[in-house]
Amino acid sequence: MSDPSPAARWSSPEMRARLQQRHSAERRFRRLGLAAIGVALLALAALLASIVGNGSSAFVRTRIALDVRFDPELLGPLGDLPPAEREVRASDVDWGVLVRDALTREFPDVSGRRDLRSLQALVSTGARSLLRTRVLEDPSVIGQTLRLWVPAGSNVDALEKGQIPRDPEADGARFSAQELGWIASLEERGLLDRGFDWAFLSSGDSREAELAGVGGAIVGSLLTLLVTLGVAFPLGVAAAVYLEEFAPHNRWTDLIEVNINNLAAVPSIVFGLLGLAVFLNTLALPRSAPLVGGLTLALMTLPTIIIAGRSAIQAVPPSIREAARGLGASPLQVVAHHVLPLALPGILTGTIIGMARALGETAPLLMIGMVAFVVDIPGGFADAATALPVQIYLWADTPERGFVEKVSGAIMVLLAFLILMNGTAIWLRQKFERRW
């Protein structure tokens, strides 16, 4: 008896059952893949919603309007002093007296040390430095009464943002009925306002939550990344070109390639220890400076740039090199005029991705001392500074309620930088990528 034809075998019940099982398995695998993507997207959406929900209020600040009388009896001597001496003598002035007097004029019925202290707590301590700065910049205000908008205290700010209940008997209440009446009076008279907090993006760190900002951390991160880019990019590209185009293929170059690949997977804190030992202990460079932070992150980013650079150079077709050599170009001219320009988009993409990783690193910067409390915005590469990830770490370790939103707000700023850098990498690849 002859074997059944192929058509008969494929149409047999056994074969149809096997095909049905295979198709069912493929559908299950497809569903599992879609489910995994859906879970990942839901987790990402929940994370972003949590960050935005907690951090959006960090960009809003509550202010109180005060009619401040710059008492000449208290400030009179400052107007007659030269700027340098005026700066020194201003430290001896009790600027809180001006704030207290302005508040008592708004609430003349308040008396008693305890009530006056509670009334003054409605205004942030940062109002004192604001008044001090105003007098130092323009001494002619002495003797005048000016309406100034000053930052409200952290509890008042939280109350206006709905983070504290307005019922004095509720759990978590921070204000008494009398204090809530003062706040309501300010609202009715238009002396309490909420608006976008530009100071959050422009000011430095502070121990008062309502005054703390990420401006110093942003500048510190930018200075650190400039040093990282200035050191890692030329060294990484030069090493990639040499290893791919000029280095002989022997066991030594193979050993170097293996070590470069291994360095790309080394934990970042190891590079922090290296930076501590070399740049701080041996070379005695300034501690907590963007210069040291940039050099440390450059060591960490260098293997990534070398690997990306070698991959981009390998992607250039050999025919380009052969055509250039056939026209009489030297090996250096082949690389400089033909290979490197064609590989540059891939090199830039790898560099930006490496820089984005460096922007989010915390452990190496902690090891070299960039965890210090820095109020002033750094003015140079050798000034004390901190970075965005370290600033987030510092605020997350602070127990005050007001710093919770500051942490999420700083994370939003950091994510914006990362999205911008990764978007730039994608744009560069799509714009300059060549298909051979």
Q: Angle at CA 22, nearest 5°, toward 21 and 25? A: 85
Which residues does 155 contact at the CB level (< 8 Å), separation at least 6? 121, 164, 174, 175
Three-state SS at 129: helix
In this prediction, residue 346 carries a pLDDT of 86
Q: Angle at CA 358, nearest 5°, toward 355 and 362? A: 165
- Tell me which amino acid residue 13 is: P
List the structure tokens of 430.
């799509």
- What stretch of H or E contains 148? strand 145-151
In this prediction, residue 301 carries a pLDDT of 92
d(CA 358, CA 429): 20
Annotate 58-71 with three-state secondary structure. Answer: HHEEEEEEEEEECC
Is residue 153 a contact partner of residue 210, using CB atoms and an 8 Å limit?
Answer: yes
Three-state SS at 138: coil
Is residue 228 a contact partner of residue 297, using CB atoms and an 8 Å limit?
Answer: yes
- The structure tokens 């489910």 sit at 35
In this prediction, residue 228 carries a pLDDT of 93
pLDDT, tens only, 165-210: 888 888 878 888 898 899 999 999 888 998 888 888 888 888 888 8
In this prediction, residue 94 carries a pLDDT of 83
Would you list the domain boundaries of the chain?
60-196, 215-432
Which residues does 21 contact at the CB level (< 8 Å), separation at least 6? none
Mean pLDDT by 10 residues, the chain (436 residues): 58 77 89 94 92 86 90 78 77 84 88 86 87 85 88 88 84 86 90 88 84 89 93 93 88 87 86 90 88 92 91 89 87 88 87 87 86 83 89 84 86 89 80 65
Fold assignment, 215-432: MetI-like fold (1.10.3720)
The DSSP result for 360-401, as a single string, is: T--HHHHHTTTTS---SPP-STTS----HHHHHHHHHT---T
